[in-house]
Amino acid sequence: MITLASPFSYHREIKKSRFFARASPVTSPDAAMEFLGTVRDQQATHNCWAYKIGSSYRSSDDGEPGGTAGRPILAAIEGQGLDHVMVVVTRFFGGIKLGAGGLARAYGGVAAECLRQAPKVEMLPTITARIKAGFDFVGPVYSLLDQFGAEKLQEQYTPEGLIIELRLEAYLVAEFRTILKDLSRGSTDLELLDPESPSA
């Protein structure tokens, strides 16, 4: 699976309207919305967007005629075979109406060119897993997550300790599990939540 190596931006003027595309790798729908919040320009006419994260995807025309902005942006992401990507295209209206077809070509084209030029990287297969740790081992577990670059998906404190769901690159599972057992003296293990289908 291919995603972006880092955020990237691109702009183009089309019939006096200025279009600014900003693309970023994202790990979750929440992260996509956070990115939108950081790049949305309140002075702009429209801030249209789309993201694709695995089987999850959303798009918004943000006031443009239905289907003329969000869907073309999403099509640009899918057309280049990218995943875990969010694209926001901000438009400053220049006084000349583009029509539905013109809008779709403008939003889709600016998004596609932004993604074409952006640096890309291959994402390694990952697994999701759960750890149940007693209170004595909460600190070491957090340190282990940082050490392995694991993404914390959610956490819950219980009377017995902490339950964490995480995402981890698949090739690291065996080493992570060994160290986790050593740290907890065998009392804590890594429970795979999707062992048959690591996402790639």
Pair of tokens at residue 40: 């949305």
> Which pTM was predicted?
0.69
- In this structure, is residue 142 part of a structural domain? yes
- Ranking 21-25, 36-40, 186-190, 194-198 by mean pLDDT, the lowest is 194-198
* Residue 31: partners with Cβ closer than 8 Å, 6 or more residues away: 86
Is 197 inside a domain boundary?
no
State the angle between helix axes of 173-183 and 138-148 in degrees (0 to 180), rounded to the nearest 10.
160
Query: Which pLDDT value is given to residue 138?
Result: 87
Q: Are 130 and 164 in contact (CB under 8 A)?
A: yes
200: in domain: no
Q: Are residues 10 and 77 in the same domain?
A: yes
Q: Which regions of the chain does DSSP assign to beta strands (E)? A: 2-4, 8-14, 17-25, 46-53, 56-60, 85-92, 120-122, 126-134, 151-158, 161-169, 190-192
DSSP-H helix ranges across 5-98: 29-39, 70-79
At 31, the amino acid letter reads A
Same-domain check for residues 117 and 133: no
Residue 149: domain span: 126-192
Same domain, 116 and 130: no
Do 105 and 130 share a domain, yes or no?
A: no
- Domain's final residue, options 78, 104, 122: 122
Given 71, 102, 122, the domain boundary residue is 122
**Which pLDDT band, with edges at 50, 70 and 90, does 194 fall under?**
low
Report pLDDT digits (tens) over 145-157: 888 888 888 899 9
